[in-house]
Amino acid sequence: MNILVTGAGGFIASHLVEELVRRGHEVRAFVRYNSRNLWGWLEDSPCRDHVEIVSGDIRDYDLVKSAVEGCDTVFHLAALIGIPYSYVSPLAYVRTNVEGTYTVLQAARECNVERVIHTSTSEIYGTAQYVPIDEAHPVNPQSPYAASKASADFLALSYHRSFGLPVTVVRPFNTYGPRQSARAIIPTVISQILDGKETLSLGNLSPTRDLTFVSDTVSGFLAAAASSETVGETVNLGTGSEISIGDLVEKIARIMGREVKITSDEQRVRPAKSEVERLLSNPGKMRALTGWKADISLDEGLALTVEWMKDRRSLYKSGIYNV
Angle at alpha carbon of residue 202, lines to 199 and 206, rounded to 5°: 115
Residue 114 main-chain phi, psi, to 5 deg: -80, -35
| Torsion (CA) 232, 65, 82, 240 in degrees, nearest 10 | 30
| Gyration radius (Cα) of the chain, Å | 19
Altogether, the residues listed in the chain come to a count of 323
| Torsion (CA) 173, 134, 239, 315 in degrees, nearest 10 | 0
Count of Cβ atoms closer than 10 Å to residue 265 Cβ = 12
Residue 145 is a catalytic residue: yes
Catalytic residue among 93, 145, 159, 176: 145
Alpha helices in 89-167 (DSSP H): 90-93, 100-110, 144-163
The answer to whether the beta carbons of residues 241 and 278 sit under 8 Å apart is no
Q: Known catalytic residues?
A: 145
